[in-house]
Structure 1
Amino acid sequence: MQQNKRLLAVALFLGTLLAVFELSGLRDHFSLTFLQQQIAENRVSGLLVFVLLFSLGNLIQIPGWVFLAAAVLTLGRIWGGLATYVAASISCALTFFTIRLVGGDVLRQLKSKTAVRILGQLDARPIRSVVLLRVLFQTVPALNYALALSGIRFRQYFTGTLLGLPLPIILYCLFFDYLAKMLRIPGVQ
């Protein structure tokens, strides 16, 4: 019964957060154009806004590639990739702490054989598991929620995140840089 309350609390928290962003018009600030404008107008405050929006966006299901594309198109593939790596890492950490605070380790309380088997694999090789999941799914919010609710230690979660994010970010940076050059988007060398 307690696990149902925790899962419901997480769902209500995320639903309320999404509703606030939708109804207030804040979701409009998650566009490629807005993000590029923020970064271009003032590098320091623009990057801080970028990190904040990436973190909030991760909680409300905004895909990380939107942020990466904005950073690469504005800063280039190297600096854009680095900015995205930092923002994604901070975003994953904030999501972990927020969801863990609301839902605890509720997935540990599930009695399903599948859940026990999956958590057993996570327990056996936590860092390796998170690295693999990050390479495959990057910063997908559902993955962040599941890992936060799984009971994994933050140190293992964050280490796996830091090790798993570079490869997909590099590949996306190359892709967006190539795409921008092929489409001759202004400002991209």
Structure 2
Amino acid sequence: MSLALSLTRYRRLIMLVMIIALVLIAVEMTGLREQLSVSFLRENLEANPVTGMVIFVLVFVVGNLIQLPGWIFLVAAILALGTVMGGVVTYIAAVTSCLVTFALVRGLGGNALREIKSPLAQKILARLDTHPVRSVTVMRMLFQTMPALNYTLALSGVPLRPYVIGTLLGLPFPITLYCLFFDRILLLLPIG
């Protein structure tokens, strides 16, 4: 690998880190982080389901970029829309968030993980190359929309189509389990 290619790779990764840091700083400085609460999301979903859903999806995307756990969004959606519709809206927001993160990270960082010379990394990437849809599906079932997974998959060089298919197939199961779990928990809590 040439020195110029290596420097370009590092510049892309540095730019990616800088953009994510800027998003995090913007969210902190604007006070949006304090607004990212179950009650805020619930109020928006209840007030107007259409604009509430758009806000919900946008906040989910930003939240995922700044490392907020997805269960916050799921609880808000269940409280506002019920278990089934809350799960559906969360699924749509989760898929959208994964795709936006993939596009942003891949666009800025390329497939930087392919440059790692570790035998373990090469073995993992080879397995991902052999069974990309199955690998993404299993990872989504285990780690859902975890930002670290989104970043890793985007930088791994996995093609967009297997990424999308694996994401679409892997998210329903854990979201359904979380919906059932939080539905049961919320039945026990005195929430209005």
- Normalising by structure 2, we get a TM-score of 0.94
In structure 2, runs of 5+ residues without a counterpart are 1-5
| Counterpart for residue 99 of structure 1 | 105
The letter of the residue matching 1:158 is V
Could you tell me which of 80, 85, 94 is aligned with 2:91?
A: 85
Supply the distance in 1 between the matched residues of 2:27 and 2:13 (Cα, whole angstroms). 21
Supply the distance in 1 between the matched residues of 2:104 and 2:13 (Cα, whole angstroms). 13
Supply the distance in 1 between the matched residues of 2:139 and 2:130 (Cα, whole angstroms). 15
| Counterpart for residue 31 of structure 1 | 37
| Counterpart for residue 120 of structure 1 | 126
What is the CA-CA distance between 1:112 and the residue it aligns to?
1.6
Supply the distance in 1 between the matched residues of 2:70 and 2:36 (Cα, whole angstroms). 10
Q: Does 1:167 align with 2:173?
A: yes
What is the CA-CA distance between 1:141 and the residue it aligns to?
0.5
* Helix, strand or coil at the partner of 2:13: helix
Q: Percent identity?
A: 50
Supply the distance in 2 between the matched residues of 1:5 and 1:65 (Cα, whole angstroms). 34
| Counterpart for residue 46 of structure 1 | 52
Deviations 1:139-184 (A, max 9, x none): 0001000000111111100100000000100000001110110113
The letter of the residue matching 1:171 is L
What is the CA-CA distance between 1:110 and the residue it aligns to?
1.6
Supply the distance in 2 between the matched residues of 1:33 and 1:182 (Cα, whole angstroms). 18
The letter of the residue matching 2:56 is F
Supply the distance in 2 between the matched residues of 1:23 and 1:84 (Cα, whole angstroms). 27
What is the CA-CA distance between 1:185 and the residue it aligns to?
2.2
1:128-143 alignment runs, 5 A limit = 128-143=134-149
Q: CA RMSD in A?
A: 1.0
Q: Is the 8 A contact 1:51 1:91 kept in 2?
A: yes
What is the CA-CA distance between 1:76 and the residue it aligns to?
0.7
* Helix, strand or coil at the partner of 1:71: helix
Could you tell me which of 6, 18, 41 is aligned with 1:12?
A: 18
- Normalising by structure 1, we get a TM-score of 0.95
The letter of the residue matching 2:55 is V
Supply the distance in 2 between the matched residues of 1:185 and 1:178 (Cα, whole angstroms). 13
Extract structure 1 runs of 4+ deviating beyond 6 A.
Answer: none
What is the CA-CA distance between 1:108 and the residue it aligns to?
1.1
Number of residue pairs the alignment of both structures matches: 186
What is the CA-CA distance between 1:56 and the residue it aligns to?
1.2
In structure 1, runs of 5+ residues without a counterpart are none
Supply the distance in 2 between the matched residues of 1:15 and 1:184 (Cα, whole angstroms). 38
The letter of the residue matching 1:5 is R
